[in-house]
Amino acid sequence: MWLRPLLHRPLTVADPFETLGLAPTFALDVKALEARQQELNHALHPDRFAGKSASERRAALSRSMDINQAHRRLRDPATRADALFELLGEDSMTERTIADPALLGEMMEQREAVDEMRRNKDSVGLGALDTEMGARERSLVSALERPFATLLAARAAGKPASSQHAGELNEARRLVTELRYVRRLREEVGAKNKIKNNVRDTELNLKTHKLVEGSQRL
């Protein structure tokens, strides 16, 4: 039975690709990922283990939690990249700061622009910047496919990524760092725009309430 090996794997497998039974790749088909998660969770549904032993029910529950955690890591491109760096024996990029002075300067300028647009209540400008950064984010995700494909092919051939493909490794690191900062900027833009929209909606609600009160007096 194909389910038995799934239940008897070590719990909390660090490699999310192994947990889901997928080949390591950055160019992951998100629809296939969703289908795989649903397939495994269906196979591990508590109803299927109603007549099983307590240990088997616990194993199924633990494995289902592992599957959902692996799914969350692979669904997001940034954490998927971190998982691949770990497979390659490299440090996670989560805590890395910007080492490229040009990128650092650009991100600082963009944050200053966001603050200025917020002060000027420029929702159009904030929306345009979010659209621009969204396109940049998609471009970065697409660009990451090439260096990771080379690095994973080298890993499969038993070649250390750091010595044989230092250029691709550095490129992947640079792109992931930029991706994280672009995302963070988009979150700031979205938060500031949301606050402004909430204030505007509150003001409209107050005006409407006053108009209703006035009409009732008449």
Tell me the C-alpha distance between 94 and 69, whole Å. 17
pLDDT for the residue 202: 46
* Inter-CA distances, 190 with 10, 13, 79, 139, Å: 41, 35, 21, 20
pLDDT for the residue 93: 62
* Inter-CA distances, 191 with 48, 90, 134, 167, 181, Å: 43, 33, 15, 36, 15
Per-residue pLDDT of the chain (218 residues; tens, 9 = 90+): 445 555 555 544 579 999 999 999 999 999 999 999 999 999 988 888 888 888 888 888 888 899 999 999 999 999 999 999 999 988 766 656 667 888 889 989 999 999 999 899 999 999 999 999 999 999 999 999 999 999 999 988 887 766 678 899 999 999 999 999 999 999 988 876 554 444 444 444 454 445 445 444 54
Angle between helices 77-87 and 54-75 (to 10 degrees): 110
Task: Indicate the SS3 state at residue 14.
Answer: coil
| 3-state helix, strand and coil shares in percent for the chain, rounded to the nearest 5 | 80, 0, 20
pLDDT for the residue 171: 94
Tell me the C-alpha distance between 6 and 216, whole Å. 67
pTM of the model: 0.77
Tell me the C-alpha distance between 68 and 64, whole Å. 6
Residue found under tokens 């992951």: 28
Tell me the C-alpha distance between 49 and 76, whole Å. 31
pLDDT for the residue 164: 74
pLDDT for the residue 36: 94
Which secondary-structure segment (H or E) carries 43? Answer: helix 30-43
DSSP state, 49?
Answer: G
